[in-house]
Amino acid sequence: MIEARTFTDSLDSARTILHTQKATNKGSYRIIDEIFHCSDPLVSLADEFLRLREVPENIWEDKAVVLAVKKTRLQTIGKYSDIPLKIQFDKRKDAEAYYNKHLAAQYVHDFSFSRIGWQYVMNNGDVVDLEIIEDNYPSIEFKSETDESVEKLLSLFGISSKNVITGPSVVAVKELLN
């Protein structure tokens, strides 16, 4: 899916729109992400990164710990992530052992952050995640199959495409936290 994220002052108006649209609340979640940049200095965090994700409160079918390499492709609005590697683990220590054995030479720890969120599914299958990053920064992520659908979601929520993050969210979050 194409993903488009924006930061906002409050999630209240988005919740109201989701309620009015009769979106289905899939539940709340909590995520802790460890981000690793590529050891190749020619590959930026915006192009590729490794993420070790712990999901202490999980609403998805994935296991509690997921190790994934993400490569970003920019869209008209937002981005699409190619995921050439995704391995799921029951325990963080197993993911760390895999990283140390197979990926430590390629990816170096960069930073970490946490978030809580609430996922909603629109009647047409589009997804809207309301999140609070590091207990302080509200954001909304829109997910849809086409650029046109992303544009319709932004319009519905009154968000200008100029306010959408360009590239992966981890780059914007890193800047926000520094």
pLDDT value at 106 more than 90: yes
Model confidence over 78-99: pLDDT tens digits? 999 999 999 999 999 999 999 9
**Whole-number percent of the chain with pLDDT over 90:** 95
Single out the residue of 51, 25, 48 nearest to residue 38, CA to CA.
48
Class for domain 2-177, per CATH?
A: mainly beta
Can you give the pTM of this predicted structure? 0.94
The domain ranges of the chain are 2-177
Contact present, 49 and 38 (Cβ < 8 Å): yes
* Residue 173, amino acid: V
Task: Identify the pLDDT of residue 62.
Answer: 93
Q: What is the DSSP letter of 11?
A: S
Model confidence over 124-157: pLDDT tens digits? 999 999 999 999 999 999 999 999 999 999 999 9
Average pLDDT, integer, range 14-38: 98
Task: Identify the pLDDT of residue 75.
Answer: 87
* Alpha carbon distance 51, 95 (integer Å): 11
Alpha helix segments (H runs only) across 5-129: 12-20, 92-98
Alpha helix segments (H runs only) across 39-118: 92-98
